A and B are shown apart, each in its own frame.
Chain A
Amino acid sequence: MMIAGFERPSGGTIAVGGRDVTGVAPNKRDVGMVFQKYALFPHMTIRENIAFPLKMRRLSRNTINDKVDQALSLVRLEGYGDRLPRQLSGGQQQRIAVARALVFEPPVLLMDEPLGALDKKLREQMQIEIKSIQERLGVTVIYVTHDQEEALTMSDRVAVMNDGKLAQIGTPIELYQSPASPIVADFIGKMNFLMVEFVGVDDESLHLRVADERTVRLPLREERRRPGVQPGDRLRLAFRPERLTLAPQGQGGPAAISGRIETIIFVGAFRVFLVSVAKADSEPLHVQSPIADSPPFERGDAVDVVLTSGGFQWFEVEGA
């Protein structure tokens, strides 16, 4: 909303391609925008809708016609120019909205949860389509979404916002593998959290105490040997479900947390084991393993959840 100029920032500047547009009115900004509910003008035909930004720029009739044709073919809806928006399906309307936002060749295209109103199948189709249009035109797209999967699959860089603040900005892989805060970790993909107590660190491992008073030694990689915490400090250990393996209880080695299988969920390509850790005040840990070599455990079995090197991260507990 601020990028498009509908709201004024309380501080700072907004620049598009080096041009400061903070004080520029919305209609002078040249920021293409796709609205959540398409916002096509219901009383105009598709052609008139797409021609609207061009007419506002006082282009000649012929130029407008050519550009509208190009825009329609870009979104593969050539034959639909004379229809009214309500005669199109949701996905088609969304494509027209994209065409209208791109037809005046803005340097930036802003998309505010553009696929929110579509069903899952269509959404995935449109994601691919938007991505391919973006690649063909080389336009910068700022894509607002609450769908973390969408954020990961569509972007080159992701900015995670929380409470109006920028929590982290980086490539999807950076965000997934080394989230800067528990909030980012939790937002991008499924993350297990477990409260532990820091005991100490030696050359190759980190010693932590879990709720059941057992000490766990986690293998440490070079770059992870981060001091700054004192023995006795509480830490939030975070690890991804797919970086965990299961072993029968007692056979998990030093880097294992013991627990009991509560539920097993079948999710198509893989299986998720929900393992509750005794006395730990946390949700059951999710352990994800491919169907092909899924361990032969049953509900109720006592198991060790084994953490692998580099497959975990810790956060200091705020206020501790």
Chain B
Amino acid sequence: MSDISARSSPSPVMTRLRSVLASPSAHRYSTALSLGLIAPWLLLLVLGFVYPVAKLLAGSLFDPGFTLVHYQRIFEQPLYLKILWRTIQIAFAVTVAAFVLGYPIAYAMARLSGRWAIIVAACVLIPLWTSILVRSYAWIVLLQRNGLVNNLLTEIGVISEPLRLIYTEGAVIVAMTHVLLPFMILPVFSTVRSIPDELPKAALNLGAGRMTVFLKVILPLSLPGVFAGALITFILALGFYITPALVGGPSTLMMATLIGQQTTALLNWPFAGALSAVLLVVTLVLAVAFRRALAFSRGFHDVG
């Protein structure tokens, strides 16, 4: 008897617990359960990201008392602003190049089917799975003084002296574009792919030529993917470290490389913190500005 009564009227603790864990609708978790589920990730984020970054930023402001001297240094010495400006320029150039090169590939990937789709997808993804270090070294092999490109050009007689290809801004842009290309291709691919087949067909049927179909239907509808890809590429490019460090020379120093130098070679942590803060702010401002600019585009709003 006691057994039955216990089962039919659950203890108040159990009821409380259930009301916390369960939620009225089946497809939503209760707040407590949601918090519980994200707790491990949150903990990792706080310990592994928020804390060190906060520490770094705090270090840039307190040395040991409150000071703005490190920030002053950034804005007073033209060198650092120049590096910041160059970083933004290179990131922008990389984004544009990735779009120009990536869009056709993404479009082809979305339209192809069967064996060719797999081949193209493999060509895009395998580099992505390859270490950035390997891909950057590959560019060194290609571009160095006795590298493939110089040798080829000398062999066929286009040039007599090897060109200075590596350690230039061009080399940095080319190599970074190559490394970041998949981040442009994949979002574009997924939006182009999600455009229903009937839409280009309907446009054709209504009298549009192939080019008009692309410009009026496919391109506007794929803009959300383009913007997503451009934003990812741009932000990654702003903080890119390995590739510029390897294929770029002192004349193409970028922010990330500069921060790296300050921390590992010069051990000037407060100044590195100040540089990081500036880069972070610039990145955030540009990202927000980007989204703002896009909010005007109806195509973006619609589908995204």
Contacts and interface: CB of A to CB of B under 8 A. Distances in A.
A56 B206 contact: yes
A143 interface: no
Interface stretch (A29-37, A152-160, A180-188, A285-293): A29-37
A252 interface: no
Given A39-B196, A41-B199, A4 B205 contact: yes
Interface stretch (B113-121, B123-131, B257-265, B296-304): B296-304
Most chain A CB inside 10 Å of its own CB: which residue of B206, B208, B220: B206
Contacts of A53: 206-207
Most chain B CB inside 10 Å of its own CB: which residue of A37, A41, A104: A41
Interface residues of A, number: 29
Given A41-B199, A43-B220, A26 B298 contact: no
A57 B212 CA distance: 12
B202 A104 contact: no
Contact of A41 (B204, B205, B209, B217): B217
B205 A26 contact: yes
B303 A27 contact: no
B299 A56 contact: no
Nearest to A43: B299
A60 to B, nearest CB: 16
Contacts of B217: 41
Nearest to A58: B207
Interface string B209-249: 10010001100110000000000000000000000000000
A33 B202 contact: yes
A42 interface: yes
Interface string A73-87: 000000000001010
A36 B196 CA distance: 12
A104 B206 CA distance: 8
A25 B217 CA distance: 18
Nearest to B197: A39
Interface of A: 4-6, 25-33, 35-37, 39-43, 52-53, 56-57, 84, 86, 100-101, 104
Interface of B: 196, 198-199, 201-209, 212, 216-217, 220-221, 298-299, 302-303
